[in-house]
């Protein structure tokens, strides 16, 4: 229950909004409130397993996570080569970054974890980690680039602080990886296209950037008690049928910042009820950052949070899984480690007793 309790107030607030400020049908109201309810739905099944059991499962199945990142990359290549996916003018696949960026990054982190645990050699780690890393160059997605850079730098810094003495193996791997990425960025058309896309992140003349700023400004146009309760739920009809996405329908096109969206939906109360448990879980995870598994989960969680700052992530079940699952699983494993450390007997005083 300790893992579930921090998320229950957000879920309760979402249900309160459905009951009191629902502007549409029950279905449309619940759909909008799910941004506050998803964390609890994910935390409940995670809490049925102990932190030690979660650690055992992840440690034994980490090769599956690596395989997932590689499989997603190969799928993207297949669709690109067979012309079964929309390719942008820069020759990149946008959907690979918007939909599958999190499993790509998880595959990359899994390779680093297996290397740190001594299960992969330097060469195999370099080759296997390169697959999901290079896949990011196939995407036309600025926020995926930003999330990858920030989460990777965090992983490197946290690992360096956890291991004061540098590892020759990790140094060789890092050097080779940085060199390979630089060569691809500078010497290949896809790499140069990726750099150009990243450079346009703050370009106010870019239609996509302008449109996202407009949506964000519209979402923050709250008045009076809306700052507390939000603009309400059920504002747009839901017919539960497949239909083309329309950019003039904010409920489906979405504010490309899930935290601003939670502010619009649930007001400051809803936003704070999401941010507080995030801070609590992140604190628990960071305290055990010396653990290689916890460190990797931290990187994946940060990656997903950064993606949520620039995309429609927390509003849908699939996207929210990649945010809430790392946070809840990481917190459970970290708290189990903390309990074991607290329960360990103190070392006896080696000094002889005075007479």
Range in 11-20, 56-65, 185-194, 264-273 with the lowest mean pLDDT: 185-194
Task: Tell the residue number behind the tokens 């490309």, with chain if given.
Answer: 256
Q: For 184-207, how does the pLDDT look when each residue is reduced to its tens digit (9 = 90+)?
A: 555 556 566 666 666 666 666 666
Name the percent of the chain lying above pLDDT 90: 37
- Contact call for residues 301 and 279 (beta carbons, < 8 A): no
Whole-number Å distance between alpha carbons of 328 and 334 = 10
Q: Across the strands, what pairs with 233? A: 22
- Dihedral angle, C-alpha 217, 223, 225, 229, nearest 10 °: -20
Task: Report the pLDDT averaged over residues 145-152.
Answer: 88
Q: For 41-98, how does the pLDDT look when each residue is reduced to its tens digit (9 = 90+)?
A: 999 999 999 999 999 999 999 999 999 988 888 877 777 677 665 555 555 566 565 6
What pLDDT sits at residue 88?
55
Task: Report the pLDDT averaged over residues 314-319.
Answer: 87
Please tell me which of 39-53, 79-93, 125-139, 329-343 the model is most confident about, judged by mean pLDDT: 39-53
271: its two tokens: 């936003």
HSE-up of 52 (CA within 13 Å, CB side)? 4
Confidence band of 217 (pLDDT split at 50, 70, 90): confident
Look at residues 116, 128, 127 and name the one whose alpha carbon lies nearest to residue 66.
Answer: 128
Q: For 82-105, how does the pLDDT look when each residue is reduced to its tens digit (9 = 90+)?
A: 766 555 555 556 656 567 888 989
What lies within 8 Å, CB to CB, of 14 at 6+ separation is: 33, 34, 35, 36, 37, 233, 266, 270
Look at residues 137, 133, 130 and name the one whose alpha carbon lies nearest to residue 196.
Answer: 137
- Burial letters for 314-345: b for 16+ Cβ neighbours within 10 Å, e otherwise? bbeeebbbbbbbbbbbbbbbbbbbeeeeeeee
Confidence band of 246 (pLDDT split at 50, 70, 90): very low
Confidence band of 132 (pLDDT split at 50, 70, 90): confident
Mean pLDDT of the chain: 80
Task: Tell the residue number behind the tokens 């309160």, with chain if given.
Answer: 16
Q: How many CB atoms lie within 10 A of CB 242?
A: 5
**Distance of CA 108 to CAs 54, 73, 95, 129, Å?**
20, 11, 19, 5
- Burial letters for 130-163: b for 16+ Cβ neighbours within 10 Å, e otherwise? bbbbbbbbbbbbbbbbbbbeebbebbeebbeeee
92: its two tokens: 């990149």
Range in 26-40, 75-89, 100-114, 221-235 with the lowest mean pLDDT: 75-89
Whole-number Å distance between alpha carbons of 285 and 335 = 8
SS3 233: strand
Whole-number Å distance between alpha carbons of 307 and 197 = 16
Decide: residue 172, CB within 10 A, 0-12 exposed, 13-18 middle, 19+ buried.
middle
Task: Report the pLDDT averaged over residues 146-168.
Answer: 80
Task: Report the pLDDT averaged over residues 2-7.
Answer: 92
DSSP state, residue 202 = T
Confidence band of 315 (pLDDT split at 50, 70, 90): confident
188: its two tokens: 């290949």
Identify which has the larger pLDDT, 115 or 183.
115
């Amino acid at each position: 229950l300790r893992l579930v309790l921090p998320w229950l107030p957000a879920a309760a607030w979402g249900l309160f909004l459905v009951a009191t400020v629902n502007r549409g049908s029950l279905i449309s109201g619940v759909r909008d409130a799910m941004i506050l309810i998803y964390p609890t739905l994910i935390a409940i099944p995670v809490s049925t397993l102990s932190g030690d059991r979660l650690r055992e499962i992840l440690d034994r199945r980490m090769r599956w996570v690596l395989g997932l990142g590689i499989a997603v990359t190969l799928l993207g290549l297949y669709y690109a080569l067979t012309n079964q996916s929309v390719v942008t003018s820069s020759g990149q696949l946008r959907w690979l970054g918007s939909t599958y960026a999190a499993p790509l990054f998880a595959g990359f982190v899994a390779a680093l974890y297996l290397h740190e645990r001594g299960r992969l050699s330097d060469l195999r780690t370099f080759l296997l980690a390169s697959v999901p890393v290079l896949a990011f160059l196939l995407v036309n997605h600025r926020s995926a680039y930003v999330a990858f850079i920030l989460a990777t730098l965090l992983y490197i810094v946290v690992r360096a602080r956890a291991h004061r003495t540098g590892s020759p193996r990790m140094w060789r791997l890092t050097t080779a990886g940085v060199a390979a990425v630089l060569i691809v960025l500078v010497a290949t058309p896809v790499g140069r296209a990726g750099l150009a896309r990243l450079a346009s992140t703050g370009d106010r003349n870019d239609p996509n950037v302008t449109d996202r700023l407009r949506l964000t400004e519209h979402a923050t146009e709250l008045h009076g008690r809306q700052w507390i309760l939000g603009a309400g739920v059920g504002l747009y009809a839901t017919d539960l049928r497949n239909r083309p996405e329309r950019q003039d329908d904010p409920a489906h096109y979405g504010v490309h910042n899930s935290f601003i969206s939670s502010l619009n939906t649930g007001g400051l109360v809803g936003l704070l009820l999401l941010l507080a448990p995030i801070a609590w879980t992140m604190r628990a995870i960071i305290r055990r950052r010396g653990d290689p598994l916890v460190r990797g989960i931290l990187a994946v969680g940060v990656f997903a949070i950064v993606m949520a700052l620039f995309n429609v992530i927390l509003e849908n079940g699939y996207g929210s899984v990649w945010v809430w699952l790392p946070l809840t699983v990481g917190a459970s494993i970290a708290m189990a480690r903390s309990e074991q450390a607290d329960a360990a007997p103190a070392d006896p005083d080696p000094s002889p007793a005075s007479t």
